[in-house]
Amino acid sequence: MKHAQAQGLDRRRIEQLLAKVKDEPSVAGRIDSLSRSFLNYRYKENPLIGSPDTTEVFTVALDGFDCVTYIETIVALARASTVADFTEWLRKIRYQQGRIEWQRRNHYMTGWIRNNKRQGLIRPIPMPNTLTVSRERRLNVVAGLAPRRTRIRCLPKSALPRLEPHLQSGDLMFFVSTRNNLDVFHAGIIVRNGDKIVMRHASRSQGGVVGQALGDFLKANRMSGVIVMRPQAPITQRIRSATSKMMRRGGA
């Protein structure tokens, strides 16, 4: 992959992170390990550079995050084997068609989900469609973008106990706003340890990246529902994972 120019790129730190997970065959395991590496990092308000009137700057700083850049960074790292891979995946995750322009940044999370789903980077988790509901929104909170209507399929909060058995480590959870002009108000990464489900997320109220019991977050916040997407490994990682499983079975 061609290496994209990026502001704040810490090559040594990224190489250390990739080395840490190079022998982990599953994308879920990589996301678990990588997301843990940034616990307690500071929350950074508006970490990206660009506006309708100024040039967009491709930024990859690892010193702090908001909830979106935290997820983007972890997913890009989980798909990468080199620094160049990481910056290329991050560019494709953050921008429509990978073009570094403010207008093409995935400002609304429904657009983020749609564009990354089209690229095959994420997919909905398997669960009955009958549990979901439809919400309509007129998005207009981002100054400089024309208002747009969108329809959201999500799981209502009351049905979340039926969702929990389907959750796996590495899943991305998006929380649908109750506001008529906003689609998603927050997002995080699910980590599962048996029946215990934790969400790692960059929290403004807590000042940094935290691990929080999912149930505690749900109790503390109003929402119209949730969307859950599962990151997919690149083909090379899938082959390596399948080979690793075959070897383990063969040696049993």
Q: 138 with 148: CB under 8 angstroms?
A: yes
Report the chain's terminal Cα–Cα distance, integer Å: 38
Residues forming beta bridges with residue 213, ordered by sequence position:
198
Write out the residue limits of the CATH 1.10.3670.10 domain(s) in the chain.
Answer: 11-118
The CATH number of the domain covering residues in 11-118 = 1.10.3670.10
252 residues of the chain, pLDDT tens digit each: 444 579 999 999 999 999 999 999 999 999 999 999 999 999 999 999 999 999 999 999 999 999 999 999 999 999 999 999 999 999 999 999 999 999 999 999 999 999 999 999 999 998 776 789 999 999 999 999 999 999 999 999 999 988 899 999 999 999 999 999 999 999 999 999 999 999 999 999 999 999 999 999 999 999 999 999 999 998 655 545 544 454 455 544
CA pair distance 119, 186, nearest whole angstrom: 22
Residues forming beta bridges with residue 54, ordered by sequence position:
51
pTM: 0.91
Question: Beta strand 122-124 with 133-139: parallel, antiparallel or unpaired?
Answer: unpaired
Q: Tokens representing 205?
A: 């109220």
Write out the residue limits of the CATH 2.30.260.10 domain(s) in the chain.
Answer: 122-231
Q: 40 with 121: CB under 8 angstroms?
A: no
- Helix then strand then coil, % of the chain, to nearest 5: 40, 25, 35
- State whether CATH 3.10.180.10 applies to domain 122-231: no
Total residues belonging to the chain: 252
Q: Tokens representing 70?
A: 């935290």
Per DSSP, 121 falls in state S
Residue 98's pLDDT is 95
